Structure 1
Amino acid sequence: MAHTVSSKKKLLSRIRKIKGQASAVEKSLENESDCQLILQQVAAIKGAINGLMKEVLEGHLREHLGAKEISEQQRNEEIEQIISIIKSYLK
């Protein structure tokens, strides 16, 4: 998975940001903060997760499905795997 290796620093930065946001939600819940603040934090986490998914998915599609050296059968298998992952993500 060279696309995740080449973007490793950027992806890890995104994950660390998400971890920080999740910690902030936990603290808000522990402190019984206003629900609007908690909702706003949850929305920010969702946006960050969506950004991470987009980044990894785009790299995967470009590197794996865009590869000229893979067979039609391999490409179809990759497509089915990605469709399954996207369906699971969108549940």
Structure 2
Amino acid sequence: MAHTMAGNKKLLTRVRKIKGQSIALENSLEGEHECLKVLQQIAAIKGAVNGLMKEVLEGHLREHLAAEDITQVQRMEEVEQVISILKSYLK
């Protein structure tokens, strides 16, 4: 998990942005704003979550799967875990 610790500030900034967008979406729905504005906010949240996933996934692949000090068995276990997470994420 070293990659998330190294980029902790950047990742937390992304999460806080998503949190703010989520609150804005909630406020839009409570205030009965136009459908297009709600859809735009949903799209922005999805894009932000995808960006966060990309950052964490890239760090994981570089730090863990590309590590030279793990066995082939460990590497395959990591691959299977990442595949499982991606399948869940892409449902």
TM-score bracket for this pair, using the shorter chain length? over 0.9
In the alignment, which residue of structure 1 is the partner of 2:73?
73
Q: How many residues align?
A: 91
In the alignment, which residue of structure 2 is the partner of 1:63?
63
- Code of the residue aligned with 1:38 in structure 2: it is V
In the alignment, which residue of structure 1 is the partner of 2:31?
31
Shift of 1:10: 0.1
Shift of 1:17: 0.2
In the alignment, which residue of structure 2 is the partner of 1:83?
83
Gaps of 5+ in 2: none
Shift of 1:64: 0.2
Give TM-score scaled by structure 2 length.
1.00
In the alignment, which residue of structure 2 is the partner of 1:9?
9
Gaps of 5+ in 1: none
The 4+ residue runs of structure 1 with deviation greater than 4 A are none
Residues 25-72 of structure 1 show CA distances to partners (whole Å, capped at 9, x for unaligned) of: 000000000000000000000000000000000000000001001000
Shift of 1:19: 0.2
What is the identity percentage for the equivalent residue pairs of Structure 1 and Structure 2?
A: 69
RMSD (Å) for aligned C-alpha atoms:
0.2
Q: Secondary structure at the match of 2:70?
A: coil
